[in-house]
Amino acid sequence: MSVKSVFCKSLFCRSLGLIFVGLFMSLFISNAAFAQPLTEIEVEARAHEVGRALRCVVCQNQSIDESDADLAQDMRKLVRFRIRQGDSNAQVIAYMQSRYGDFVLLKPPMQKNTYFLWFAPIGLLLAFLIWYVFRTRRTTTQLQPLPLSNSEMVQFEKIANTQKTKPVKPNPENPNKETDT
């Protein structure tokens, strides 16, 4: 083989490779070039969807979609701007999370710093159930009445005897009831 034929083969391979890279890149460029801009209805629908996933940092228990705070309005404008720039919903949420922190997410991610948020309610429930089980399984002792002393026994018999000997008169207002005299 001559040096010229080896050079041509390598030049041919390089040019063929460049053609394939060019075609591959044109697919991505053409997709972006021919993509239709979002209509306002699509932008609003996506903004509401993203807004329901983000917390208003002023109201704290409302999404930015529900909040009337000024900061929530600014956050909604920023969400719409990012959507119009071509960001996906996940990219917009990631941007807001990087700007405001994990607190801005209504559903916090499962991370080491949020384990308490996820497991504290379950831990409290288990602690209550364990306490309840031990409390109800504890043997209850029956309280036995103390025996009466001699003086109390005499008093009791005196009261019991007076109740037996006392006559009962019929009640004139209600014949079914009897009255004590």
Q: 16 lies in which domain range?
A: 1-35
5, 30, 83, 86 from 37: Cα distances, Å:
51, 14, 11, 9
**Residue 25 sits in the same domain as residue 51:** no
**Residue 96 sits in the same domain as residue 56:** yes
pLDDT of amino acid 167:
61
**Residue 55 sits in the same domain as residue 84:** yes
Question: Of how many residues is the chain composed?
Answer: 181
Assign 170 a pLDDT band (cuts: 50, 70, 90). low
Instruction: Evaluate whether residue 85 is within a structural domain.
Output: yes
Whose structure tokens read 């040096």? 3
- Is residue 108 a contact partner of residue 102, using CB atoms and an 8 Å limit? yes
Q: Residues 1-36: pLDDT tens digits?
A: 555 554 455 666 677 667 777 777 766 665 555 556
How many domains in the chain? 2
**Residue 30 sits in the same domain as residue 45:** no
Instruction: Evaluate whether residue 178 is within a structural domain.
Output: no
The β-bridge partners of 55 are 63
**Residue 67 sits in the same domain as residue 29:** no
43, 54, 83, 100 from 96: Cα distances, Å:
17, 8, 12, 6
The β-bridge partners of 178 are 170
- Is residue 57 a contact partner of residue 71, using CB atoms and an 8 Å limit? yes
Mean pLDDT of 145-162: 87
- Is residue 51 a contact partner of residue 65, using CB atoms and an 8 Å limit? yes
Mean pLDDT of 68-72: 90
Mean pLDDT of 124-132: 94
Please say if the pLDDT value at position 126 is more than 90. yes
Q: Residues 74-117: pLDDT tens digits?
A: 999 999 999 988 888 999 999 999 998 888 888 878 888 878 88
- Is residue 84 a contact partner of residue 92, using CB atoms and an 8 Å limit? no
